């Protein structure tokens, strides 16, 4: 560039100043810290903890979340947030913002597990044999916390945020029923989270692409001929047959799967016999299988059935296999959208600091959040709650599971920030998915 051109360029900069940063960009960077400050107010923290403890005391299984749903609706009523109910039996959808496009959703699962709580504390489960052992009580509390934050800042929202309180994540496929109800047809993106006992509080972790495996369940009844254990030649032993079946099932991963592709087949149920000296008539086994592609899931399903029936036949037994697809539909793999991953890194980095936003390896656990990701861009992440001062927290699905309630404000603020900033950044245009031409939910 010639000297005269430099002089002219400097003159223009002095006259007009630098190109201004858009107000939307500036607002997006401030939202995460502002929302976290709001969520950390003592009255908000106390409310979050109270809501979570009420839900924890009254755990409900999938599609039975009647009281949980009632609590959610009562809190939304107090905030003046409109909602749709029932959706997918017990689900609730709340609406914050303009009521116009674009639409973004944030989701929490509401169901508990069929487990007896072994933690002795003031707010222990009051329902024998049921427990919030996976943190869904905290998920609901954090989504309600996000609702409170968003409603307080609703004038700043440039679109509509859908609050998805979903039933039956624990194997029931509640997400699929939400989608089947047709209530999220025009949503541009959806976000979800899960607490993580092994991740320090104030940190989050996720990744672009495959995060969690797809999964299915199986149950098989292997039938033989019962008799006295002292004269096995007069019987057809289903326990022996089942034992051979289980060993053979392990070969599906070790001998048939690509070593570079992660797969799991686990037999976790074995029921048969009730006496030391009696060979039973039948044995029931069951378990789960997991992989990161639909093709691998379907291949595993086919081979599981073949191995069980044919190995049973080798031992002169009959076998029937049930995959319980109606009650426990196959979950797809949870695959995070790359663009939403960048959005998550920006928002979480602004709130927590970039050093507290971690990339993680895929896990073989599964999540029915994946059903949403088949229909729209979706992003799922893990929220830390480990505090060294509290000692090691038990893992999820343990009867000793506990929540560090200090994590609740972080989850509420992240939910709200991811949705609100997404609305600021997305161009207000109709969904690009085929057949979706409506501008209302």
DSSP string, 305-345: HHHHHHHHHHTT-EEEEE--TTTSPPBPPEEE-HHHHHHHH
Cα 160 from Cα 150, distance rounded (Å)? 10
Cα 247 from Cα 391, distance rounded (Å)? 38
Q: Is the dihedral of CA 203, 417, 143, 362 positive or negative?
A: negative
Cα 218 from Cα 32, distance rounded (Å)? 43
Q: Is residue 440 part of a domain?
A: no
Q: Is there a binding annotation on residue 134?
A: yes
- Nearest Cα to 290, choosing from 259, 253, 322, 264? 264
Structural domains of the chain, count: 2
pLDDT at position 287, please?
98
The residues with which 204 forms a beta bridge, in sequence order, are: 357, 383
State pTM to two decimals.
Answer: 0.89
User: What is the CB neighbour count within 10 angstroms for residue 184?
Assistant: 21
User: What is the CB neighbour count within 10 angstroms for residue 275?
Assistant: 8
Q: Is there a binding annotation on residue 170?
A: yes
Q: Is residue 7 part of a domain?
A: no
Q: How many residues appear in the chain?
A: 441
Residue 127 has pLDDT above 60, yes or no: yes
Q: Do 298 and 369 have their domain in common? A: no
pLDDT digits (tens, 9 = 90+) for 247-281: 999 999 999 999 999 999 999 999 999 999 999 99
Residue 191 has pLDDT above 90, yes or no: yes
Cα 409 from Cα 129, distance rounded (Å)? 29
Q: Do 83 and 225 have their domain in common? A: no
Q: Do 141 and 128 have their domain in common? A: yes
How far from 408 is each of 142, 385, 399, 414, CA to CA, in Å? 6, 9, 21, 10
Residues contacting residue 217 through CB under 8 Å, at least 6 positions apart = 171, 286, 287, 288, 289, 323, 324, 328
Share above pLDDT 70 across residues of the chain, in percent, rounded to a whole number: 90
- Nearest Cα to 56, choosing from 1, 135, 148? 135
Q: Do 236 and 257 have their domain in common? A: yes
Residue 87 has pLDDT above 60, yes or no: yes
95 φ, ψ (degrees, to nearest 5): -135, 120
pLDDT digits (tens, 9 = 90+) for 13-66: 343 343 333 455 667 789 999 999 999 999 999 999 999 999 999 999 999 999
Q: Do 140 and 228 have their domain in common? A: no
Q: Do 257 and 135 have their domain in common? A: no
pLDDT digits (tens, 9 = 90+) for 352-409: 999 999 999 999 999 999 999 999 999 999 999 999 888 889 999 999 999 999 999 9
Q: Is there a binding annotation on residue 397?
A: yes
Q: Final residue of a domain: which of 322, 353, 369?
A: 322
pLDDT at position 28, please?
79
Could you tell me whether strands 187-200 and 103-109 are parallel, antiparallel, or unpaired per DSSP bridges?
Answer: parallel
Q: Do 206 and 220 have their domain in common? A: no
Residue 241 has pLDDT above 80, yes or no: yes
Q: How far is CA 26 from the centre of its chain?
A: 31
Q: Do 389 and 313 have their domain in common? A: no
Q: Do 194 and 262 have their domain in common? A: no
The mean pLDDT of 139-165, rounded to a whole number, is: 97
Range of the domain at 167: 23-211+333-425
Residue 433 has pLDDT above 80, yes or no: no
């Amino acid at each position: 560039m010639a000297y005269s051109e430099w002089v002219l360029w400097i003159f223009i900069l002095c006259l007009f100043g630098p190109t201004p940063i858009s107000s939307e960009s500036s607002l997006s960077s401030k939202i995460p810290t502002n929302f976290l400050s709001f969520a950390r107010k003592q009255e908000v923290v106390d409310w979050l903890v109270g809501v979570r403890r009420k839900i924890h005391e009254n755990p409900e299984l999938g599609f039975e979340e009647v009281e949980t749903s009632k609590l959610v609706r009562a809190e939304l009523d107090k905030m003046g947030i409109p909602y749709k109910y029932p959706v997918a039996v017990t689900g609730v959808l709340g609406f914050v913002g303009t009521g116009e496009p674009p639409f973004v959703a944030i989701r929490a699962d509401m169901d508990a597990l069929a487990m007896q709580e072994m933690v002795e504390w003031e707010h222990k489960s009051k329902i024998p044999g049921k427990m919030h052992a996976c943190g869904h009580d905290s998920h609901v509390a954090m989504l309600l916390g996000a609702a409170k934050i968003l409603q307080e800042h609703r004038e700043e929202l440039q679109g509509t945020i859908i609050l998805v309180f979903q039933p039956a994540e624990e194997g029931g496929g509640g997400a699929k029923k939400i989608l089947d109800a047709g209530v999220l047809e025009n949503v541009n993106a959806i976000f979800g989270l899960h607490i993580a006992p092994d991740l320090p509080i104030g940190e989050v972790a996720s990744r672009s692409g495959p995060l969690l495996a797809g999964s299915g369940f199986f149950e098989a009844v292997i039938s033989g001929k019962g008799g006295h254990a002292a004269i096995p030649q007069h019987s057809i032993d289903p326990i022996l047959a089942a034992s051979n079946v289980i060993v053979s099932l392990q070969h599906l991963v070790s001998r048939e799967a690509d070593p570079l592709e992660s797969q799991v087949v686990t037999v976790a149920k074995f029921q048969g016999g009730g006496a030391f000296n009696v060979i039973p008539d039948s044995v029931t086994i069951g378990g789960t299988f997991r992989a990161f592609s639909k093709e691998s899931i379907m291949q595993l399903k086919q081979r599981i059935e073949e191995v069980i029936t044919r190995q049973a036949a080798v031992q002169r037994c009959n076998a029937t296999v049930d995959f319980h697809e109606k009650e426990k539909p196959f979950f797809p793999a949870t695959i995070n959208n790359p663009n939403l991953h960048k959005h998550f890194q920006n928002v979480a980095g602004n709130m927590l600091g970039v050093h507290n936003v971690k990339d993680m390896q895929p896990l073989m656990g599964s999540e029915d959040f994946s059903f949403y990701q088949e229909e729209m861009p979706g992003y799922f992440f893990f929220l830390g709650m480990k505090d060294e001062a509290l000692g090691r927290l038990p893992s999820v699905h343990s009867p000793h599971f506990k929540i560090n309630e200090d994590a609740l404000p972080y989850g509420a603020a992240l939910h709200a920030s991811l949705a609100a900033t997404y609305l600021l950044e997305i161009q207000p245009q109709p969904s690009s998915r085929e057949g979706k031409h409506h501008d209302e939910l």
